[in-house]
Structure 1
C-alpha cells in the first residue's frame, strides 16, 4: 500500500514538556490533595451519622481541642515528659544497638551464636512483655524507659549486624593489599560502608519510640501523652482524645523529618559516589 503525500509529509508533534513547577512540587501537591480528601471523608462520616460523634469527633472539633490544649497548657504539659522518656530510651538503644551490632557483625562466630536468640526476640510482641517490665521495674520511669529501649534496640541492632556483615569483601581486601591495619580498616572502611545500611533501622527505631511510649504510659503514671489520651477516653472527652493522637502524629512527622535530614547529611558522600 503506497502512502499519500499528505501522510508522508505529516509532521509528528513532539509531546509537551512537563511543567517544571509541577515536576518539582507534584509530591507535595498530591499529598495535600490526599490529605484534604481524607479530612473530607472523615468529616462526612461523622456529619451524616455513619459514626457517632461520641466515638469520632469532627476534624474542626479536634483542631479546636488541640489549639485549646496548647493555649491553656493542658496538652503542652504532657508533651515534654513523653519526649524526655522517648529520647532517653532511644539514645540508650542507639548506643547499645550500634555497638553490639558492629561487634556481632564483625565477628562471624558471634553472629552464628546469637542468630537463634536474635530471631526469637525480634519477633516477640512488645505488648506481651509489658507485664515483665512492670514486675521487674514497677510502674515508674525506669519501666517506661526500658520499654522504649527494648522497642528501639532491635531495629538498630539487626540492621547494624546486617550492614557490617554485608560490607563488600573487595573493599576489605583492597585495604589489606594497600597495607592498612585492622583499626584503619574498621574506622575508614567498615564503618563508612555500613552507616547507610544502619540508618533505616535508626529511623524505624525513632518511630517505634513513641509507639512503645504510649503503651508504656498506659501502664501507669502521672504525666505523658499516653496518659492524657487514656484519661480523655475514660472521661468521654472525645475531641481531647483525638487531639492527643494528633499531637503524637505531629511529633512523629517532626522526628522523621529530623532523622531524614541527619541521614541526608551523614550519607552525603555516598550520593556523591553514585550520582551520574
Structure 2
C-alpha cells in the first residue's frame, strides 16, 4: 500500500513532525452528485406532460406520409415548419405577428382598464349592480362573433373596428370573474376586518381586493385567449396584415403550408401569452399559500 507524507503537530509536545499516511487516509475528490428523487419526479412530470404533444407531432408527420391523410390538404409537419421558416426569414411572418399583437394588446388592455373597475363597482355596491344587471344579462349572452357585422357597419373596416371587437370580447370574462371574485369573498374575513375597525375603503383595499385577485386573473387569462381568437375573425374581413389575414389569404391562394404555418404561430403566441399571464398572476398573488 502506497503512503503519503504529511506535516502534523504533536498534540502533547507541540512539535511538528512528518508522518506517513496510507492512501486510505488521504482526502480524495467528492463523488459525483447524484440526482435526487425530487429531480427525478420533476423530470417524469415534464416528460408526462409533453408526451401527448410529442405523439401528436409524430402523428402529424407520419400519417400524411403513409397515406392515411391526404398530404395535399394536411402536409407533413416538416413541410409546414419549412414554410414557417421561409415566412420568418423573409420578414412576412414578423409583420403579420406584429400587426395581430398590436390589435390584440390594444383591445385586451382597454378591456382590463374598463372591465375590472366596473366589475369591482358592480360586485361591491348593490345600487350599481341593480342598475346595470339587466343590461349585462342582455349582452353577456350575445356572441361577439355575431356582432362583428354590426361593428363593421358602424365603425367601418379599419383598425378601430378590430380593436373594439377585441375589447368587447375580452371585457366579458374579466367583468364576470371580477364580479364573482368580489361577491364570493369569505364573509368571515369581512366580519373579522370590520371587528378590527376597518372602514369601507380600507376593508375594500386590504380584504376584498386581495381575496378577489385569483378570480380576477382567471378572467384575465380567459380574455387573453379570446384576444387572439376573436381577432382572427376580424382580420379575415378588410385586413391587409395579421395572422388571420395570412391564414385567409393562404387558403384562398391554396398555399396550404403557409396556412398551417399561420395556425402554428397562433398556437405558439397564445401559449406564450398565457405563460406571461400565469407569471403575472403568481407575482400579484404572492400572499397565497401554495
Q: State how far apart, in whole Å, the 1-side matches of 2:139 and 2:216 are.
A: 19
Q: State how far apart, in whole Å, the 2-side matches of 1:26 and 1:207 are.
A: 28
Q: State how far apart, in whole Å, the 1-side matches of 2:283 and 2:44 are.
A: 24
> How much does 1:20 deviate?
3.1
TM-score normalised by length of structure 1: 0.88
Alignment-derived partner of residue 243 in structure 2: 225
> How much does 1:109 deviate?
3.3
1:12-42 alpha-carbon deviations (Å, 9 max, x no partner): xxxxxx9433311323202332122111222
Alignment-derived partner of residue 12 in structure 1: none
Q: Is 1:125 matched with 2:140?
A: no
1:199-229 alpha-carbon deviations (Å, 9 max, x no partner): 1100000011000110110111111111011
What are the equivalent positions in structure 2 for 1:91-170 lying under 5 Å apart? 91-170=109-188
Larger proportion of strand? 2
Q: State how far apart, in whole Å, the 1-side matches of 2:82 and 2:225 are.
A: 26
Match of 1:22 among 40, 52, 67: 40
Question: What SS class does the counterpart of residue 92 from structure 2 fall into?
Answer: coil
1:46-96 alpha-carbon deviations (Å, 9 max, x no partner): 112233222111100011111111111111111111100000000000011
Asked whether the equivalents of residues 54 and 236 of structure 1 are also in contact (C-alpha less than 8 Å), the reply is no
Match of 2:80 among 62, 78, 86: 62
Q: Is 1:182 matched with 2:200?
A: yes
Q: State how far apart, in whole Å, the 1-side matches of 2:132 and 2:70 are.
A: 51
> CA 1:189 to 1:32, structure 2 compared with 1: closer, same or farther past 3 Å?
closer
Question: What SS class does the counterpart of residue 221 from structure 1 fall into?
Answer: coil
Q: State how far apart, in whole Å, the 2-side matches of 1:211 and 1:120 are.
A: 23
Alignment-derived partner of residue 270 in structure 1: 288
Q: Unmatched 5+ residue regions in structure 1? A: 1-17
Match of 2:262 among 244, 249, 259: 244
Q: State how far apart, in whole Å, the 2-side matches of 1:180 and 1:39 are.
A: 56
Match of 1:73 among 87, 91, 100: 91
Moved more, 183-192 or 46-55: 46-55
Higher normalized contact order (CA 8 Å, seq sep 6+, divided by chain length): 1
Moved more, 29-38 or 140-149: 29-38
Asked whether the equivalents of residues 206 and 255 of structure 1 are also in contact (C-alpha less than 8 Å), the reply is yes
> How much does 1:238 deviate?
0.6
Alignment-derived partner of residue 86 in structure 1: 104
Question: What SS class does the counterpart of residue 88 from structure 1 fall into?
Answer: helix
Q: Is 1:53 matched with 2:103?
A: no
Q: Unmatched 5+ residue regions in structure 2? A: 1-35
Across the aligned residues of Structure 1 and Structure 2, the Cα RMSD in angstroms comes to 1.6
